Amino acid sequence: MNLNDRGISLMHEFEGLRLNAYLCPAKIPTIGWGNTKYENGQSVKMGDSITKERADELFKNIADDFAKGVRRLITVTLTENQFGALVSFAYNLGLGNLQRSTLLKKVNANPNDPTIRDEFLRWTRAGGRVLQGLVRRRQAEANLYFAN
C-alpha cells in the first residue's frame, strides 16, 4: 500500500502551504504543508521559516512516516484510495487517534463497511468545537476512501 497522488493532493489541499510558522486552529506552531514537527522530532517554533523546496521535502518525509504507521495498524488489504484517506486522517489527527478509533476497528473488520463513512465524520472538532474545514476534510477523506 502506497500513498497515491489522490491522497497527497487531498492532504495538500486541506493543509495548504505556509512557508512561515503559524498557529493552527489547535494553537500548535505549524509550517509547510501542515507540519508541526521536523524529521528529527523537533517541534516547529513561531518565527521558523522554510522554502517551498524544504516544505515539499519535509512533507514527503513526514507523510512517509505516517504511511508506515498506518501500514502497521492495518490488518487487511486496502485500495490505494482507502490507504490514502487513512494516511490523510492520521497526518491531520495523529496515529494514536487512528489507533484508538472505531474507524480503524471497522476498517480492519471489513474495509467495505459503509458505516466507515460515518466514522470519518465523527472527527470534526478542534478546541471543543466543530470546524467547517474539518467537516470538509473528513467528507473528502470519506469520499476518497470509497472512490474507485
Q: Which residues are catalytic?
A: 15
Query: In a 10 Å sphere around its CB, with 0-12 CB exposed, 13-18 middle and 19+ buried, how is residue 129 labelled?
Result: exposed
Task: Name every residue whose Cβ is closer than 8 Å to that of residue 85 and which is 6 or more positions away in sequence.
Answer: 7, 10, 120, 141, 142, 144, 145
- Which set of grid coordinates corresponds to residue 86? 487513512
What letter represents residue 85's amino acid? A
Phi-psi region of 41 (alpha: psi -120 to 50; beta: other; left: phi over 0): left
Specify whether the CB–CB gap between 30 and 36 falls below 8 A.
yes
